């Protein structure tokens, strides 16, 4: 089993499955737990570095298994200290992850898919083909690498994780939940679930499933319009997941988890920036406990969307607040680098194509 593609991806195995593998190899089950801890607690990427494992067993591990780790392909550092990474996977696909430092938190933004099958008109990733889902360990690796960047560059560990990078997390449901299980587990990275937010473009049946699974992490919905006609135009996923269907799913989710929801809303100039739009959003917010994050947009070359003016955004936010809706304005980060979701990976691919 010398060929890498014939080896078993060791991090695809549960502890129980790994123990069975060790028994079949003539090894004691407790050795499997030792290796499992090296992989998930210590984020070890080489069997040869597992110092409490015998040389003979390390040799067996190298013969039988592979660790398909994620590596940093390139990084861009913004004047505001944001670090945008393109990561290369074992099969040479590129994804993105971002370190976002602010005064009160250190956040990792991670990807869940290579590309995206949704076609949101304002998102760079929406113009990429979805190649495949990420495995749980590939999501976990992004967190480990970004945490290392935070410690090395700013002397502060990660405090938060947002699944807001490339891809739609709820279309990679099982792997996303498994990655969160490893990130939050005591024998994993031991991060609190309340420090993790999963952002969805809105898939009603999967939001219901989050409720059935009684998840502990936070849920955010990329809303951007509380009017079906407008949302259909900028987010075609809304055609199969209407605002009514989403509202019902979110109410079900809240009833099951008691977790408030965050609505993400980019105020686009001339698209969704009127007081009537704010009124529709305020009405949508009445369905369950929630807050609104108004997000500043990073324009992309593929689309003609731009931010509404600052005065207009303030009027919009002020209206929501007067209606009793908790509203925050999130300023754009990394404006001087390829900060929009998907931009860096697209540019890297285009650079590769021009050189080949």
pLDDT in tens, 270-328: 999 999 999 999 999 999 999 999 998 888 887 889 999 999 999 999 999 999 999 99
Q: Is residue 298 marked as binding?
A: yes
Could you tell me the sign of the dihedral formed by the alpha carbons of 111, 259, 288, 103, in that order? negative
Q: For residue 203, what pLDDT is reported?
A: 98
Is residue 84 predicted with pLDDT exceeding 50?
yes
User: Is the separation of the CB atoms in 204 and 245 below 8 Å?
Assistant: yes
DSSP string, 252-299: HHHHHH---EEEEE--BTTTS-SHHHHHHHHHHGGGSSEEEEEE----
Predicted confidence (pLDDT) at residue 346 exceeds the cutoff of 70: no
- Residue 117 annotated as binding site: no
Q: Label residue 212 exposed, middle or buried (CB < 10 Å: 0-12, 13-18, 19+).
A: exposed
Residue 281 counted as an annotated binding residue: no
Question: Is 167 within any annotated ligand binding site?
Answer: yes
What is the set of active-site residues? Answer: 96, 341
Q: Is the pTM of this model over 0.85?
A: yes
Nearest to 317 by CA among 292, 288, 298, 287: 292
Q: What is the CA radius of gyration of the chain?
A: 22
Percent of the chain with pLDDT over 90: 84
Reported as a single tens digit per residue, the pLDDT across 22-62 is: 999 999 999 999 999 999 999 999 999 999 999 999 999 99
Enter the tokens of residue 254: 């809240």
């Amino acid at each position: 089993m010398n060929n890498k593609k014939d080896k078993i991806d060791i991090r695809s195995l549960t502890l129980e499955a790994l123990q069975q593998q060790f028994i079949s190899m003539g090894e004691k089950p407790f050795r499997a737990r030792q290796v499992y801890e090296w992989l998930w607690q210590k984020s070890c990427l080489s069997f040869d570095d597992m110092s409490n494992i015998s040389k003979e067993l390390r040799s067996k591990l190298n013969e039988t298994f592979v660790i398909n780790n994620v590596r940093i392909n390139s990084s861009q550092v913004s004047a505001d200290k944001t670090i945008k990474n393109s990561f290369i996977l074992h099969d040479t696909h590129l994804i993105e992850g971002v370190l976002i430092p602010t005064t009160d938190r250190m956040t990792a933004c991670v990807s869940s898919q290579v590309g995206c099958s949704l076609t949101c008109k304002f998102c760079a990733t929406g113009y990429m083909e979805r190649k495949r889902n990420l495995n749980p360990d590939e999501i976990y690796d992004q967190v480990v690498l970004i945490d290392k960047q935070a410690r090395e560059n700013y002397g502060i560990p990660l405090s938060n994780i947002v699944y807001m990078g490339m891809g739609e997390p709820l279309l990679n449901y099982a792997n996303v939940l498994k990655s969160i299980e490893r990130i939050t587990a005591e024998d994993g990275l031991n991060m609190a679930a309340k420090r993790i937010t999963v952002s969805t473009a809105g898939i009603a049946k999967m939001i219901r499933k989050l409720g059935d699974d009684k998840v502990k992490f936070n849920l955010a919905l990329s809303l951007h319009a509380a009017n079906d006609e407008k949302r259909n135009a900028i987010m075609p996923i809304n055609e199969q997941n209407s605002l009514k269907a989403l509202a019902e799913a979110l109410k079900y989710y809240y009833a099951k988890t008691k977790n408030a929801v965050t609505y993400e809303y980019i105020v686009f100039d001339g698209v969704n920036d009127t007081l009537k739009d704010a009124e529709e959003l305020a009405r949508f917010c009445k369905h369950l406990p929630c807050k609104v994050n108004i997000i500043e947009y990073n324009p992309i070359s593929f689309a003609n969307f731009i931010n509404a003016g600052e005065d207009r955004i303030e009027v919009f936010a002020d209206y929501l607040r007067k209606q009793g809706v908790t509203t925050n304005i999130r300023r754009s980060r990394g404006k001087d680098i390829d900060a929009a979701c998907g931009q860096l990976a697209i540019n890297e691919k285009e650079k590769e194509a021009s050189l080949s």
